[in-house]
């Protein structure tokens, strides 16, 4: 079997490593719930724990999220190994989603919660982490890839 979808694996590994490194730095250097203003009133690093999903959804009883992270991660790896050769945007998108799912999944299995620390106060956005960012950027990459795969005749009619 020929190894394929190289960018998928690179994107997954890089995003997972960046997520783990930043969370480790936050846990070692910041105090829980104490903000560190980088741009006062706009952007802070605030170490919080989140037992729920993105944006603190399912805060109560979110234990099933660890299993969802595992299933999504295994499914994406199987897709990359056994599925077709993806175009560049799909490889990057699926890889970023895998890295984010693994990063948050590791937190959930080890600690029972996810470490969040990026806080945009200007728009009062919920605190999040790099794994959440990678998952969302991955979705955007998949959307871009879906437009690239669309036949030129369909693109001109839409």
Task: Give catalytic residue positions.
Answer: 116, 132
DSSP codes joined into one string, 78-127: HHHHHSPPPPHHHHHHHHHHHHHHHHHHHHHHHHSSEEEEEEETTTTPPP
> Dihedral, CA atoms, 123, 129, 134, 137, nearest 10 degrees?
0
């Amino acid at each position: 079997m020929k190894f394929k979808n190289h960018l998928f694996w690179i994107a997954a590994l890089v995003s997972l490593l960046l997520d783990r490194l930043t969370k480790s730095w936050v846990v070692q250097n910041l105090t829980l719930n104490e903000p560190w203003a980088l741009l006062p009133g706009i952007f802070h690093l605030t170490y919080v724990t989140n037992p729920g999903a993105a944006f603190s959804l399912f805060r109560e009883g979110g234990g099933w999220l660890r299993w969802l992270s595992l299933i999504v991660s295994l499914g994406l790896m199987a897709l990359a190994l056994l599925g077709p050769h993806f175009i560049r945007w799909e490889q990057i998108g699926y890889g970023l989603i895998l890295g984010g799912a693994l990063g948050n999944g590791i937190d959930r299995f080890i600690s029972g919660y996810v470490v969040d620390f990026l806080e945009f106060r200007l728009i009062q956005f919920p605190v999040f982490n790099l794994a959440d960012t990678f998952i969302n950027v991955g979705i955007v990459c998949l959307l871009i890839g879906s437009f690239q795969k669309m036949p030129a005749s369909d693109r001109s009619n839409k």
